[in-house]
Amino acid sequence: MSEPRGHAGHVVDVRGLGKSFGPLRVLRDVSLHVAAGRTLCVLGPSGSGKSTLLRCINFLERPDEGAVFLRGERVGFRRTPAGRERPMSDRELARMRTRIGMVFQQFNLWPHLTVLGNLVESPIHVQQRPRGEVVAEADALLDKIGLRDKRDAYPSRLSGGQKQRVAIARALAMKPEVLLFDEPTSSLDPELVGEVLAVMRDLAREGQTMIVVTHEMGFAREAADEVLFMDEGAVIETAAPQRFFDNPSTARVRQFLQRFA
């Protein structure tokens, strides 16, 4: 039996995802979809499987069950001419990942490259685009995040907030179809959170398709088109932010909001 094709109108379509680490079940039958230009915020207590969900979407973790589709194409598997599905090779998977940007909690900038070097690395060496064009675009991105003056600095010279803004620009430089954020502000000092959220808010407004795992309730309320709540590896509730925050339909979400809001 062949897997169902994803919905081509959705940028990301996740169906029935399951994942275990040894005896621990981290994801149970998780499904979601994001339409073009929309922002989905994923909320939930620590250890609820939010990060694993993101890492399964771009196959940094290989899910045990279920399927992920990017614009209707299955991630991690390729259809052979005979119509069967086989796991993608390292190279095929890498090409797919260029269409899915990711921003990490710990930034994960490459410390041996300058800020500009971090931005142009993958576009030049993975997408094989001409250097001049890539550098010009990278400079424009640096203008946008307000860090043009840090262009030639090494990451160790930047503050946490600056690092994360660079990491966002690095992901954008690939012109991804969707951008995944894995708790992008959780390892920042409180006074640096604002500058990163401001950049993300702008992106949401400009119509960048995003999936954001976060603990920032304010950001979810303002910037999200939809909010998804997870607990113990399962999706508990999906709703528009207004409804999610003001009138949640499950007791579990009410309990969670009381503690955080």
Partner 1 sequence: MAWSPLLSELARGTVTTVTVSLAGIAVGLVLGLALALVRARGVPVVSPAVAVYVSVVRATPMVTLALLIFFGLPSFGLSLSPLVAAIMIISINTSVFQAEIWRASLLDFPRGQLDAARAGGMTRAVAFRRIVFPQAWRASLPGLVNEMTLVVKGSPAVAVIGVVDLTRVAVRWTTVTYEPVRPFLTAAAIYVVVVMCLIRLQRSVEQRIVERYGSL
Could you tell me which stretch among 8-16, 66-74, 94-102, 250-258 binds partner 1 (CB under 8 A)?
A: 94-102
Shortest spacing between CB 60 and partner 1, in angstroms? 6
Q: Is 68 in the site for partner 1 (CB under 8 A)?
A: no
- Take residue 163 and report the two structure tokens written for it: 């690092």
> For residues 241 and 239, what is the distance between their CA atoms, to the nearest angstrom?
6
The DSSP output letter for 148 is: G
x/- site string to partner 1, residues 184 to 223, per CB under 8 A?
----------------------------------------
Which positions ≥6 away from 212 have C-beta within 8 Å? 39, 40, 41, 42, 181, 184, 200, 219, 220, 223, 224
**Which lies closer to partner 1 via its Cβ, residue 128 or residue 258?**
128
Does residue number 250 form part of the binding site for partner 1 (CB under 8 A)?
no
In whole angstroms, what separates CA 159 from the centre of its chain? 22
Please pick, from the candidates 48, 122, 164, 209, the single residue that binds partner 1 as defined by CB under 8 A.
Answer: 122
Quick one: which of 90, 149, 152, 206 contacts partner 1 (CB under 8 A)?
Answer: 90
Under rule CB under 8 A, residue 154 binds partner 1 = yes
The amino acid occupying position 138 is: A
CB of 62 to partner 1, least distance (A): 12
Instruction: Return the residues of window 11-30 that contact partner 1 according to CB under 8 A.
Output: none
CA atoms within 13 A on the CB side of 123: 23
**Smallest gap from residue 91 Cβ to partner 1 (A):** 5
Amino acid residing at 23? P
Strands of 10-21's sheet in order across = 24-35, 10-21, 65-70, 73-74
Contact 179, 209 (CB under 8 A): yes
> Which span (22-30, 125-133, 234-242, 253-261) binds partner 1, by CB under 8 A?
125-133
Return d(Cα 257, Cα 244) in angstroms, integer: 9
Binding residues for partner 1, rule: CB under 8 A, are: 55, 58, 60, 90-91, 94-98, 100-102, 104, 106, 108-112, 121-122, 125-127, 154, 156-157, 167, 170-171, 174
